[in-house]
Structure 1
Amino acid sequence: MINRLKALSTLLDHLVNREATTGRCVTCLNKRAFQGLCSPCRADLPHNRLHCETCALPLAFAGPVRLCGECLTQPPPFTRSRIPWRYQFPVDSMIGRYKYQGQRKFARPLLADFSDYLDRTLTDSERPELLIPAPMHWQRRWQRGFNQSQDIAEYLGRRLKIPVGSQAVRRKRKVRAQRGLSRDGRLRNLSSVFEVRRPIPERVAIVDDVVTTGATTRALAKELSKAGARDIQIWALARTPG
């Protein structure tokens, strides 16, 4: 039974790989797809419409101030976040296949839609001078084969004509994987882990795939702020609900 399931999964992967280059939807294989998704699947994406204006945490309701409790009591060192989707099905599955299995075709629709959204909504005063991918330790990058944050930043940089500072920041040491850690555990895990290695302009955007507790973005934004950045945005594909 297990072998049959594996064979079925392999066949489905083969079909998706093949159809991704011929215009089919990457989630249901519908022939009528635009930028990798058909209209029904695109409509089913969990859009992050009601969210904190600073960290993009999904909110249950809209109050007089569109800020989450943490941003009210502990304002982060960044100004705002642009995160279009919640990390729920099917976005979580699409990012997972891209991030952990290297299947970039599952990220293409999200990247295309995200870049179109940014191109429509960014004003000249909000446009970053540099995109900074969330850095990955070289050992983890070697194990995974690529840094998905850098991959996303380079795609957005090409589409929006914004330079990418891939070497601007590095991880000084390898840390325990963030998955499964509490917010406080993530903050302790990331203490003094980032080092800014290049001059930083005043307006930058940190690029990542998923923002979970926000510990990584807070730690990285703190170091960029020390290096001279004054307007720091967070750009990511998805935000985990609280």
Structure 2
Amino acid sequence: MFTKYKNNWLKFNLNRRCVLCSQQAISQTRICDDCLTDLPWIGNACQRCANPLSSAQLPHLICPQCQKKPPPFEQVIAPFEYRFPIDQLIQLAKFNHRPHLLNPLAELLSLQLQNTPLPELVIPVPLHPKRLQERQYNQAALLAKRIARNLDIPFSNRLLIKTDNTPHQAELDRKARRKNLRNSFQCCGSPPSSIAIVDDVMTTGTTAAEISRELKAAGCHRVYIWVIARTAKELHLY
């Protein structure tokens, strides 16, 4: 019995290939050790918004923008900068009908979250029903569900809904992003005291801030933002 189990385990794991280089990758992340090392990991970052900081800046720092105007969320966790190859994996998963590429990214984010404060509920950034019908799946929901399962936290995709089918944020500058999303989310129940919002990428933080304000207005006390990647400030649209 043990020999059969061992053989099945070896067959399953030895057939795993790295999603980046196609070499053997035994780890649960489906990314080999060499590729893991080369990923654009965030080093120094703002402890509030996770904006990548230069190596010359001190660690455990709150960036000037968060000091001047603290965001409505407690903390952003993002393991990667939005650069190659993370940006390519996310784009392929999001727009090229390859959602399986989200699995290794969810595993890596789950590992990053093991030593952080955990909330009572995990929710995704919702899509408007029309956008969901076009794309056929919500990449944030796929990430959130897997992360919630990994961390043994309840998951919900019904607490928060997108009420307006707003234009893509990527097409807008910072000021237009705020106006675009204003009052476009609705909390449909009584939220717990702490919630984590999951998304693939955070750029200016406009979406995270708008959702955080909506959840806190409904009674939530602490909102955490969990994303795969963070766009460096110099790449933000102003």
Q: TM-score, normalised by structure 2?
A: 0.87
Match of 2:174 among 171, 179, 183: 183
Match of 2:78 among 70, 83, 106: 83
For 1:235, the equivalent position in structure 2 comes to: 226
Query: Using the alignment, how far apart are the partners of 1:185 and 1:69 within structure 2?
Result: 22
For residues 68-217 of structure 1, the aligned pairs below 5 Å read: 68-119=63-114, 121-122=115-116, 126-217=117-208
Q: CA RMSD in A?
A: 1.8
Q: Give the match's secondary structure for 1:76.
A: coil
Q: Structure 1's 21 and 210: CA in aligned 2 closer, same or farther, altered over 3 A?
A: farther
Deviation track 1:8-29 (CA, whole Å, cap 9, x = no partner) reads xxxxxxxxxxx99931111111
For residues 40-51 of structure 1, the aligned pairs below 5 Å read: 40-51=34-45
- Offset of residue 185 of structure 1: 1.1
- Offset of residue 94 of structure 1: 0.9
Query: Using the alignment, how far apart are the partners of 2:15 and 2:96 within structure 1?
Result: 21
Deviation track 1:64-122 (CA, whole Å, cap 9, x = no partner) reads 86122221111111111111111001110111111111212322222112112222x13
Unpaired segments ≥5 residues, structure 1: 1-18
For 1:66, the equivalent position in structure 2 comes to: 61
Q: Give the match's secondary structure for 2:100.
A: helix
Aligned residues: 220
AA in 1 matched with 2:110: S
Whether contact under 8 Å (2:82, 2:232) holds in the other structure is: yes
Deviation track 1:44-65 (CA, whole Å, cap 9, x = no partner) reads 1111121111111111232486
Match of 1:25 among 12, 18, 38: 18
Query: Using the alignment, how far apart are the partners of 2:15 and 2:198 within structure 1?
Result: 29
Whether contact under 8 Å (1:79, 1:231) holds in the other structure is: yes
For 1:52, the equivalent position in structure 2 comes to: 46
When structure 1 is superposed on structure 2, of 110-119 and 76-85 the one drifting more is 110-119
Q: Give the match's secondary structure for 1:208.
A: strand
- Offset of residue 31 of structure 1: 2.1
Q: TM-score, normalised by structure 1?
A: 0.86
AA in 1 matched with 2:67: L
Deviation track 1:176-204 (CA, whole Å, cap 9, x = no partner) reads 11113111111110011111101101111
AA in 2 matched with 1:22: N
Whether contact under 8 Å (2:14, 2:26) holds in the other structure is: no
Query: Using the alignment, how far apart are the partners of 2:36 and 2:106 within structure 1?
Result: 13
For 1:7, the equivalent position in structure 2 comes to: none
Whether contact under 8 Å (2:13, 2:26) holds in the other structure is: no
Query: Using the alignment, how far apart are the partners of 2:198 and 2:103 within structure 1?
Result: 16
Percent identity, aligned pairs only? 34
Q: Structure 1's 29 and 193: CA in aligned 2 closer, same or farther, altered over 3 A?
A: same
AA in 1 matched with 2:20: T
AA in 2 matched with 1:137: H
AA in 1 matched with 2:49: C
Runs of 4+ aligned structure 1 residues displaced above 6 Å come to: none
Q: Structure 1's 45 and 197: CA in aligned 2 closer, same or farther, altered over 3 A?
A: same
